[in-house]
Chain A
Amino acid sequence: MSTKAKEILVLALIFAFSLIFYIGKVLGWEAVRFSTTVSLIVILLVALSLLWILILTIRGRLVERRIVFLYVGIAVALPLFMTLSQRIAISPEVEAVYNTLEGLPEGSKVLVSFDYDPPSAPELQPMAEAFLYYCFEHDLKVIMMGLWPQGPMQANLAIEKVLSDEKIKSKNLKYGEDYVNLGFQAGYEFVIQRMGSDFRSMFPTDYRGTPYEQIPLVKNVKNFSNIDYCFNLSSGFPGTREWVQIAVDRFGVTLGAGNTAVQAPQMYPFMRAGQLVGLLGGMVGAAEFEFLTKWIGKGTKFMISQSFAHVIVIAFIIIGNVAFFRSKRKTGLKR
């Protein structure tokens, strides 16, 4: 079979699977679930196959790149069907975000900046949902905005999901009074700087086109001094670093953040310096925050996939090193 034919076949398969999943979603099909026993058997089989690969490597047969891809695919996909539960340990950074929220009285104004786009949503969207759930459950007023064009759309998706929860639905929250989406504003960190003196100059209307002064929730919000807590969800520039440099250092805002796992390590110096009050790092941070807020979402559900994928990568690193030392020993013997 030619490469082109293989590409077409793969695309056709992806299209067919996507179509089946979409039809299933529309028709409300029940998800396939493995029992705990089947899940454990699957894990055992994967572990045995990895052991077999290790033996082959010791014997001098290296695995191809495609095999690694296949295992990563299995590691991510199979656990989605498993029914295993894991104990989630809470890190001090996540606890700090939760404790700060706990200290806010009812009616406090919380500003949430959605500075990310769909590629980072698997990590950041669960954080956004858990955060909004907590805010609505504890009657905090939420002002949303975005320094990324896709941010306000992500905010809408999170709001839609949280508002469909029975407990939140019963609160009968009103747009403009309990929460508002100010939309996107171009200008990167200059938007934050300008918000320090006047929110309205950067957001003359909300994302629906309602004039700022006609929105009950924000009509008395002049600048950061009227905000009790800021939370930034970020996956790059502009993001948490810019919020720390301008909103925190210049205007004294209390800031918490949720970052992708890739970006989170860069924020630890800000945490240790007290410029950042709490940090949710990657999907693990999302799962921990979900556990604390009791909003069990995708962060918790995907944790098994994350665990499985990490173990697979570690296993291949070990196999790679076995191959490396074997070849080194062979070269040494030849000399």
Chain B
Amino acid sequence: MFVIQYFIPHYPFNRMSHWFSDWFAIILACAIVLGALNLMKISIQKVIKKKPGWGYAVVIIVSFLLITVIGLSEGEAFREPGTWFDWLYVYVYTPCSSTMFAILGFFVASASYRAFRARNFEATLLLLAAFFVMIGRVPVGDIISGFMPEGVRLSNLASWIMTFPQTAGQRAIMIGIALGIVSTSLRVILGIERAHLAGE
């Protein structure tokens, strides 16, 4: 349907993408509600059956109810600065979710220490690229290489790696994925690929 509208720019085909976009937005909005209710159902069941980690489910239920009740009680201006909802967002939700994400930094450092080894030629290339980009992308890179000519300073080297070898790699990945999507789509449309219909 989305393809047809490009070839027949007349009613009703020219409106089809709009209708489908609207329906998609409506279905997605409903899916958010369904997802939230499903989370509640699973959490409540976990608490009732006292499954392992049920204490965390209690936290989910309490947090969900608290933020929903506060949001609903404050009316349409619930996101305005100074509301209880805003306070919870700024001082509870933001630090908690930021903390979860920040923990990744520690694991990345630990994983780099244990796994980033010059085992072979390819690994050494990756290691060198990572080294130059990591040091060249922060100001300390230019402090270290400040005595060198402008063009070969670490920041320029990092910029060169990002702009040329890295972009070339990204392009190869993108083109590969796109070709894969086209071929899989054609197989599905032509009925060659039936796995999604539980066929062979």
In the complex, the answer to whether A89 meets B101 with C-beta atoms within 8 Å is no
A121–B32 CA distance with the chains assembled, in angstroms: 23
In the complex, the answer to whether A187 meets B21 with C-beta atoms within 8 Å is yes
Is A176 among interface residues, defined by CB-CB distance under 8 A? no
In the complex, the answer to whether B32 meets A320 with C-beta atoms within 8 Å is no
Is A202 among interface residues, defined by CB-CB distance under 8 A? yes
Is A218 among interface residues, defined by CB-CB distance under 8 A? no
In the complex, the answer to whether A310 meets B138 with C-beta atoms within 8 Å is yes
In the complex, the answer to whether B18 meets A197 with C-beta atoms within 8 Å is yes
In chain A, residues 239-277, which have Cβ atoms closer than 8 Å to a Cβ of chain B? 261, 265-266, 268-269, 271-272
Expressed in whole angstroms, the minimum distance between the Cβ of A4 and any Cβ of chain B is 13
Give the size range of B's interface with the partner.
35 or more
In chain A, residues 90-126, which have Cβ atoms closer than 8 Å to a Cβ of chain B? 91-92, 117-122
By a CB distance below 8 angstroms, the chain B residues around A87 are 139, 142-143
Binds A, one of B46-54, B112-120, B190-198: B112-120
In the complex, the answer to whether A69 meets B79 with C-beta atoms within 8 Å is no
In the complex, the answer to whether A314 meets B135 with C-beta atoms within 8 Å is yes
By a CB distance below 8 angstroms, the chain A residues around B135 are 310-311, 314
In the complex, the answer to whether B79 meets A121 with C-beta atoms within 8 Å is no
Closest to B15 in A: A197
Binds A, one of B37-45, B60-68, B159-167, B180-188: B159-167
Interface centre among A92, A118, A202, A303 (most CB of B within 10 A): A118
In chain A, residues 294-331, which have Cβ atoms closer than 8 Å to a Cβ of chain B? 303, 306-314, 316-317, 319-321, 324-325
Is A82 among interface residues, defined by CB-CB distance under 8 A? no
Is B152 among interface residues, defined by CB-CB distance under 8 A? no
A88–B139 CA distance with the chains assembled, in angstroms: 6
Please judge, given known A-B contacts A121-B94, A207-B79, A317-B127, whether A272 and B28 are in contact too, CB under 8 Å: no
Is A216 among interface residues, defined by CB-CB distance under 8 A? no
Contact of A190 among B25, B97, B174 (CB under 8 A): B25
Is B170 among interface residues, defined by CB-CB distance under 8 A? yes
Closest to B166 in A: A265
In the complex, the answer to whether B97 meets A307 with C-beta atoms within 8 Å is no
Please judge, given known A-B contacts A156-B79, A194-B22, whether A65 and B131 are in contact too, CB under 8 Å: no
Main secondary structure of the interface of A (DSSP, over half): helix
By a CB distance below 8 angstroms, the chain A residues around B86 are 153, 156
A22–B95 CA distance with the chains assembled, in angstroms: 12
In the complex, the answer to whether A153 meets B167 with C-beta atoms within 8 Å is no
Expressed in whole angstroms, the minimum distance between the Cβ of A319 and any Cβ of chain B is 7
A198–B66 CA distance with the chains assembled, in angstroms: 36
Is A160 among interface residues, defined by CB-CB distance under 8 A? yes
Closest to A188 in B: B28
In the complex, the answer to whether A314 meets B139 with C-beta atoms within 8 Å is no
Enumerate chain B interface residues (CB-CB to A < 8 A).
17-18, 20-22, 24-25, 28-29, 32, 76-77, 79-81, 86, 89-91, 93-95, 97-98, 100-101, 105-106, 108-110, 112-114, 116-119, 127, 130-131, 134-135, 137-140, 142-143, 153, 155, 159, 162-163, 166-167, 170-171, 174
The 4 closest A-B pairs by CB, nearest first: A119-B101, A187-B25, A86-B139, A307-B140
Contacts A156-B80, A284-B138 known; list 13 others, CB within 8 Å.
A118-B98, A119-B100, A153-B86, A156-B81, A190-B21, A265-B162, A269-B171, A284-B137, A313-B108, A316-B113, A320-B114, A321-B116, A324-B119
